[in-house]
Amino acid sequence: MDRISAIEKSLTVFVCGLIGFLPVVGLLPAVHALVCSVRVRSQYGGQWNPASAYLRAGTALATFGVLSSILVIAVVSLAIANAF
């Protein structure tokens, strides 16, 4: 992976992480951000990435988004199960 691709993918991770920060609605973008993050880190890991701060922030936002989505889905599922 060349430097331009690493920068573009890092910014993609950041944008998808921002969208993925929204619970439930952003579940798919958050998963996409995490997959892209793993790819960038594995293919461009040993070199300097000028957008590494965006990569880290996007990964953190996406991780929080996935965890909050799982929590919301679990709470709603339990509420529906207890209603019947």
Q: Which domain holds residue 22?
A: 3-83
Per-residue pLDDT of the chain (84 residues; tens, 9 = 90+): 889 999 999 999 999 999 999 999 999 999 999 999 999 999 997 899 999 999 999 999 999 999 999 999 999 999 999 998
Nearest-Å Rg of the Cα atoms of the chain is 15
What's the CA gap between 37 and 21, in Å, rounded?
Answer: 15
pLDDT at 14 (0 to 100):
98
pLDDT at 45 (0 to 100):
79
pLDDT at 68 (0 to 100):
96
Instruction: Give the total number of structural domains in the chain.
Output: 1
